[in-house]
Amino acid sequence: MYSLLKAMRALLVLDLCTTVGALAGWPEGGTIVAGNAVRFDRQTWESSLAQPNATGTVPVSGFDISQRWPSQEVDGWTLSLNVSSDVPESQSMNADNATTGTFTGTSIFFKAPENIQGAFTNHTALDETTWKICVNVVPNGPQEDQSAAGNGTCGFLSSQCVTDLQQAYADKFSGSQDCYGTPPSTPSSCGGIVDTSNFQTQQLPLTSINGTEVFVTASASHEAGDETAWNNATRQVWPVLTVWGWNTRAQAPQDSSPQVQLSCIRANTVEPGSDNPPSSAEPTFRGAAVLALGIASVTTWYTYL
Ligand SMILES: *[C@@H]1O[C@H](CO)[C@@H](O)[C@H](O)[C@H]1NC(C)=O
Ligand SMILES: *[C@@H]1O[C@H](CO)[C@@H](O)[C@H](O)[C@H]1NC(C)=O
Ligand SMILES: *[C@@H]1O[C@H](CO)[C@@H](O)[C@H](O)[C@H]1NC(C)=O
Ligand SMILES: *[C@@H]1O[C@H](CO)[C@@H](O)[C@H](O)[C@H]1NC(C)=O
Ligand SMILES: *[C@@H]1O[C@H](CO)[C@@H](O)[C@H](O)[C@H]1NC(C)=O
Ligand SMILES: *[C@@H]1O[C@H](CO)[C@@H](O)[C@H](O)[C@H]1NC(C)=O
Ligand SMILES: *[C@@H]1O[C@H](CO)[C@@H](O)[C@H](O)[C@H]1NC(C)=O
């Protein structure tokens, strides 16, 4: 038993090394790196995305993870996104200096309330945590959010689909908090609009709850000022499914189930000085420098404890 565990651990380490080796620019992991974001290193990426052209933030119901699992819900967690219209290709790794193309980049990140962020600047607290939080990003969300509710609902999914999806994840991960296990099959109520096998998963590093990216992606290379890429990136809806789970230190009862939340995020503020996306279908864009697009998030909670 012990040696089997050791072998499994060795395999896991090997697996992690392989993954890490593949992403020269993001060697420490902790972030889902999609699309052309793989062509950048973290430092270059972060300096571009630190001055975004558009941003979006939704509140999410999170937990006081500075306390032992299962703790209690707390306000103040947010899920956010930054979009930069101009991440120069010349700054990508192995770029030819003559390259004049540019990428439109998107970063998604979580932020805990400040007192909880503070708790994890302490290494002992990191080593002793009983929490294991899995973040699943849906990479192919729509560019329209029909509900345009501004309150956070994933309006493009039926409420039955949202309920079933959350329950499917709660059921699937009730006995184990291995974020990288096989996902549940997609509930039929979702009608093929989402497919869990496409979800991209990352165990949330507790050092990232200060707003470090959990997901980054970039468009295809385009000319600076390309309105299509900018329009695409600002309209893109990103569903994010969070599993608030535990690790073995929590000594969770056998029949425990994690709390699961689906939120949708989208750009909702165009930064001063940036162009309003050329979006005739979205009348809210007209006229002002700072505008609301649509935001969606579901703050329904499912407790199976
Ligand atoms: C997002 O943009 C804000 C400025 O609006 C910046 O302070 C922050 O560092 C950026 N975060 C990421 C992860 O890019
Ligand atoms: C690009 O320019 C920098 C500074 O001018 C130089 O150090 C680097 O070697 C050049 N890279 C390539 C691939 O030409
Ligand atoms: C670090 O965290 C541990 C465990 O949570 C706690 O006992 C200790 O007091 C903390 N130390 C500091 C300096 O905050
Ligand atoms: C969010 O807005 C939508 C559409 O306006 C509405 O149907 C829904 O009840 C709202 N949900 C919450 C949790 O406020
Ligand atoms: C979060 O903290 C880590 C160090 O723990 C630091 O490297 C990183 O830059 C911080 N990120 C943000 C967005 O503040
Ligand atoms: C914009 O989005 C459309 C639809 O997803 C896609 O076909 C197109 O390639 C995107 N254009 C750019 C420049 O990203
Ligand atoms: C994004 O911001 C940069 C720097 O402020 C600006 O040069 C660029 O035109 C902006 N892009 C858009 C699409 O507004």
Q: What local confidence, expressed as pLDDT, does residue 176 receive?
A: 80
Could you give the residue ranges of the DSSP H alpha helices within 186-299? 227-235
211 lines ligand 5 (CB under 6 A): yes
| Residues in Cβ contact with 229 at an 8 Å cutoff, skipping those fewer than 6 apart | 85, 103, 104, 219, 220, 222
Q: Which atom of ligand 6 is the closest one to the Cα of 219? A: 14
The answer to whether 134 and 84 are in contact (CB under 8 A) is no
Residue 140 reports pLDDT greater than 70: yes
* Cβ neighbours around 172 below 10 Å, total: 19
Q: CA torsion sign, 59 to 137 to 214 to 176?
A: positive
Nearest CA to ligand 4 atom 6: 149
Q: Which atom of ligand 1 is the closest one to the Cα of 109? A: 13
3 lines ligand 2 (CB under 6 A): no
pLDDT-above-90 percentage for the chain: 72
User: What DSSP designation does 162 have?
Assistant: H
Mean pLDDT along residues 184-213: 97
- pTM flag (> 0.95): no
Please give the distance, rounded to the nearest whole angstrom, from the Cα atom of residue 267 to the centre of ligand 7. Answer: 15
Helix (H) or strand (E) holding 244: strand 238-246
Residue 9 reports pLDDT greater than 60: no
Query: What are the residue ranges spanned by the domains of the chain?
Result: 1-28, 31-297
Mean pLDDT along residues 30-41: 97
Mean pLDDT along residues 282-305: 31
Nearest CA to ligand 6 atom 14: 229
Separation between Cα atoms, residue 85 and residue 229, nearest integer Å: 8
The answer to whether 183 and 195 are in contact (CB under 8 A) is no
**Residue 229's closest CA among 50, 109, 108, 102?**
102
**Residue 131's closest CA among 60, 209, 194?**
209
Query: Which of 39, 96, 97 gets mutated to test ligand 2 (max ligand atoms within 8 A of its CB)?
Result: 97
Nearest CA to ligand 7 atom 9: 274
Q: Which atom of ligand 6 is the closest one to the Cα of 222? A: 13
